[in-house]
């Protein structure tokens, strides 16, 4: 059992709970114990794409965490909360409401490489403790600024005149970007405060919401629904990098972790496959030297 289940995570379900639901359905479907991991935490108040890796695909979870992601989100103006989302205590209010033109004009300063301060209610560790645990305990949490990249940022809200109580945007961002912080800072830039009232991840690395399944469909799998309707092959998590076809001799060398030279190919990450087209390893070519990054143990 190796591959991916791409869950369209519903509101209120945590990422750990989602992994538990996958494990339960795998057991109910008769697959026994399967190694399971997720490719990027999604808050309970967020919905959308949550890649869940099975078996050898769990070796790609770290790569999935590093992948860029796309979100739709709504900023509700006039109220800032402690968690910068729909939960938490109100910590600031403002009567000012920006126009759509003002929001649009502000987006340029949040596109490209930017520095942002993560929310106090986040999973970042401070002196070995999660920031959200410290914040919930009443401690003053000082979050350090971090460098992230917003590849694209645009407004979804239809053209309108007058003041906005809320605006919906789409952001394509690098790893480590906090949408709640982005929403807070956009609100500041237009002279008010705000919080995220809706957050939906529509893409995580190579996986989009179009390939995601509902929790109901996952539960149907546990009750006997066809596996091919639920589980994507391991190579689906490698669609954003090129494949490298190896001869039997080269495939054996890569499986043994040996370095290869003299293969005509571009520098960067590739996934290597043998004659049966099964993934053998994630490999990296640097100046004509091919090294194994992660090997896959996939028997025919």
Compute the average pLDDT of residues 45-59.
Answer: 94
HSE-up of residue 68 (Cα within 13 Å, Cβ side): 11
Residues 240-287: tens digit of each pLDDT: 889 999 889 988 888 888 888 877 788 889 999 988 888 999 999 988
E strands along the chain, which residues?
3-9, 36-38, 47-54, 69-77, 79-81, 90-93, 112-116, 125-126, 129-130, 146-155, 166-173, 194-204, 207-208, 243-245, 260-261, 268-273, 279-286, 289-295
Distance separating alpha carbons of residues 194 and 181, to the nearest angstrom: 10
Residues 267-277: tens digit of each pLDDT: 889 999 988 88
pLDDT, residue 159, reads: 66
pLDDT, residue 261, reads: 86
Q: Residues 171, 73: contact at Cβ < 8 Å?
A: yes
Compute the average pLDDT of residues 223-238.
Answer: 87
Which of 275, 220, 272, 210 lies closest to 241 in space, CA to CA? 272
Q: Mutual orientation of helices 15-28 and 215-222 as an angle, nearest 10°?
A: 30
Residues 107-130: tens digit of each pLDDT: 999 999 999 998 877 667 776 777
pLDDT at 141 over 80: no
Q: Residues 79, 193: contact at Cβ < 8 Å?
A: yes
- pTM attached to this predicted model: 0.90
Token pair for residue 10?
């519903």
Of the listed 43, 72, 172, 185, which one is catalytic? 43
Is the C-alpha dihedral spanning 214, 8, 79, 98 positive or negative?
Answer: negative
pLDDT, residue 199, reads: 97
pLDDT at 300 over 70: no
Q: Tell me whether residue 72 is one of the annotated catalytic residues.
A: no
Which of 10, 3, 2, 1 lies closest to 49 in space, CA to CA? 10
- pLDDT tier, 155 (very low <50, low <70, confident <90, very high otherwise): very high
**Phi, psi of 89, rounded to the nearest 5 degrees:** -80, 150
């Amino acid at each position: 059992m190796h591959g991916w289940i791409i869950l369209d995570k519903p509101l209120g379900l945590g990422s750990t709970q989602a992994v538990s639901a996958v494990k339960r359905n795998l057991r109910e479907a008769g697959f026994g114990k399967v190694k399971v991991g997720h490719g990027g935490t999604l808050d309970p108040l967020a919905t959308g794409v949550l890649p869940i890796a099975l078996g050898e695909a769990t070796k790609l979870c770290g790569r999935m965490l590093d992948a860029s992601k796309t979100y739709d989100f709504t900023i509700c103006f006039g109220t800032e909360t402690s968690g910068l989302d729909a939960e938490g205590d109100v910590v600031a209010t403002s009567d000012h409401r920006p126009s759509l033109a003002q929001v649009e004009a502000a987006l340029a300063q949040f596109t490209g490489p930017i520095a942002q301060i993560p929310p106090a209610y986040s999973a970042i560790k401070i002196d070995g403790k999660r920031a959200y645990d410290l914040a919930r305990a009443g401690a003053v949490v000082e979050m350090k600024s971090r460098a992230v990249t917003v590849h694209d940022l645009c407004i979804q809200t239809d053209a309108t005149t007058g003041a906005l109580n809320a605006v919906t945007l789409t952001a394509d961002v690098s790893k480590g970007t906090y949408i709640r912080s982005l929403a807070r800072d956009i609100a500041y830039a237009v002279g008010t405060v705000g919080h995220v009232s809706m957050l939906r991840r529509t893409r995580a690395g190579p996986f989009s919401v179009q390939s995601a399944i509902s929790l109901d469909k996952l539960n149907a799998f546990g009750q006997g629904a066809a596996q091919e309707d639920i589980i994507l092959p391991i190579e689906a998590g490698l669609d954003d990098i090129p494949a490298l076809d190896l001869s039997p001799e080269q495939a054996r060398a890569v499986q043994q972790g040996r370095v290869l030279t003299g293969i005509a190919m571009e520098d960067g990450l590739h996934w290597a496959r043998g004659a049966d087209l099964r993934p053998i390893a994630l490999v990296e070519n640097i100046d004509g030297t091919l090294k194994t990054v992660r090997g896959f143990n996939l028997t025919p």
